[in-house]
């Protein structure tokens, strides 16, 4: 545990690590306050492209945590960064929430439903056959298919809901074209997190609750990985994977309370 506490900073997943739905998880307030009091660098990183950093900051504020927007990085921002690096000034047809469109717009990527360079998909509650039909036609016409993240489902207060991977699948099947997914486990997001913090991978611990996205992304980014059991993964699930996190904790509060579970 001492090795974790001595890290210069932390990259933390959000859902299942910091909160679940609209409820802050036990020990999170103590962990965040400990990071602030000890001048730790930190960024909250999420595969969800549905909210802007400001909206995420406001969400935590409603839960009693004051964290400024510059401490958040989303798959929407990562997608915009990626497309800007690949083709500055490109255009996109977007199926997603306003936060995804705004992230693209802020990087000079403009909306185009006639002949876009890319079709970009993110979680949204406005998915419909008309948009699906349009996306298929554009990809068949030469647009490249991009997913903000590969997650097939997400856990909400209403239960299991389809995520970006599920929304992309019909387009892949209909066109025979495979999407490129920007979010975790693609290490692009974690590398950007390191740039935000101004740290090397060895200086940081990455904290997540999923073996298939969080832990593998941390391992491939050469970071110490911390699996917390406060989200979707149970201890018995770990043996289903050919890799392991460096640390296994009940929750982030254990970092402060020094109660590591081997």
Residue 54, both tokens:
């400001």
Burial 171-192 (b: 16+ CB within 10 A, else e): bbeebebebebbbbbbbbbbeb
- The yes-or-no verdict on residue 44 having pLDDT over 80 is yes
For domain 2-47+184-257, the question of CATH label 2.40.30.10 is answered with no
- pLDDT digits 0-9 by tens, 148-166: 999 998 766 666 789 999 9
Alpha-carbon span 120 to 135, nearest angstrom: 9
Give the active site residues.
13, 15
Residue 107 and residue 86 in contact, taking contact as beta carbons nearer than 8 Å: no
The ranges assigned to domains in the chain are 2-47+184-257, 77-181
- The yes-or-no verdict on residue 258 having pLDDT over 70 is no
Three-class HEC string of 155-181 = EECCEEEECHHHHHHHHHHHHCCCCEE
> Quick one: average pLDDT of 125-139?
97
> Quick one: average pLDDT of 45-61?
96
> Quick one: average pLDDT of 71-98?
97
| Long-range contacts of residues 32-35, Cβ cutoff 8 Å, at least 24 apart | 32/65, 32/67, 34/255, 34/256, 35/10
- What pLDDT sits at residue 45? 95
Among 209, 37, 112, 229, CA closest to 218 = 209
Structurally, at CATH architecture level, domain 77-181 sits in: 3-Layer(aba) Sandwich (3.40)
Identify the band that residue 176 occupies on the pLDDT scale cut at 50, 70 and 90.
very high
Residues in the chain: 262
Residue 234, both tokens:
């149970």
Identify the band that residue 36 occupies on the pLDDT scale cut at 50, 70 and 90.
very high
Alpha-carbon span 110 to 182, nearest angstrom: 19
Alpha-carbon span 117 to 120, nearest angstrom: 10
> Quick one: average pLDDT of 139-156?
92
Residue 179 and residue 146 in contact, taking contact as beta carbons nearer than 8 Å: yes
- What pLDDT sits at residue 22? 84
Percent of the chain with pLDDT over 70: 95
Identify the band that residue 260 occupies on the pLDDT scale cut at 50, 70 and 90.
very low
Alpha-carbon span 118 to 130, nearest angstrom: 18
> Quick one: average pLDDT of 210-226?
94
Mean model confidence pLDDT for the chain: 94
> Quick one: average pLDDT of 202-209?
96
How many Cβ atoms sit within 10 Å of the Cβ of residue 37?
8
More confident call, 35 vs 261? 35
Among 247, 236, 154, CA closest to 207 = 247
Widest distance between CA atoms in the chain: 56
Query: Locate tokens 């910091």: which residue?
Result: 18
> Quick one: average pLDDT of 78-107?
97
Alpha-carbon span 93 to 110, nearest angstrom: 9
2-47+184-257 matches 77-181 in fold = yes
Alpha-carbon span 151 to 29, nearest angstrom: 27
Alpha-carbon span 63 to 103, nearest angstrom: 25
> Quick one: average pLDDT of 173-178?
98
Q: What is the pTM of this model?
A: 0.93
Residue 109, both tokens:
């990527």
């Amino acid at each position: 545990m001492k090795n974790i506490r001595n890290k210069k900073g932390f990259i933390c997943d959000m859902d299942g690590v910091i909160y679940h739905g609209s409820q802050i998880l036990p020990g999170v307030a103590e962990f965040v306050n400990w990071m602030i009091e000890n001048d730790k660098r930190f960024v909250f990183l999420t595969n969800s492209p549905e909210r802007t950093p400001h909206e995420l900051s406001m969400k935590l504020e409603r839960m009693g945590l004051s964290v400024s927007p510059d401490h958040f990085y989303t798959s929407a921002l990562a997608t915009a960064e990626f497309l800007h690096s690949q083709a500055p000034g490109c255009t996109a047809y977007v199926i997603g929430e306003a936060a995804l469109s705004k992230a693209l717009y802020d990087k000079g990527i403009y909306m185009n439903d006639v002949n876009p360079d890319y079709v970009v998909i993110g979680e949204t509650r406005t998915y419909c056959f008309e948009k699906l039909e349009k996306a298929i036609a554009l990809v068949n016409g030469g647009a490249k298919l991009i997913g903000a993240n590969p997650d097939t489902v997400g856990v909400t207060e209403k239960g299991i809901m389809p995520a970006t991977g599920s929304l992309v699948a019909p387009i892949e099947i209909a066109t025979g074209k495979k999407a490129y997914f920007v979010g975790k486990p693609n290490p692009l997001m974690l590398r950007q997190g390191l740039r935000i913090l101004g740290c090397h991978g060895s200086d940081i611990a990455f904290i997540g609750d999923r073996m298939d996205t969080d832990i593998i992304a941390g391992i491939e980014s050469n970071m110490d990985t911390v699996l917390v059991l406060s989200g979707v993964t149970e201890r018995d699930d770990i043996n289903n994977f050919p890799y392991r996190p460096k640390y296994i904790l009940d929750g982030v509060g254990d970092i402060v309370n020094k109660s590591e579970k081997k």
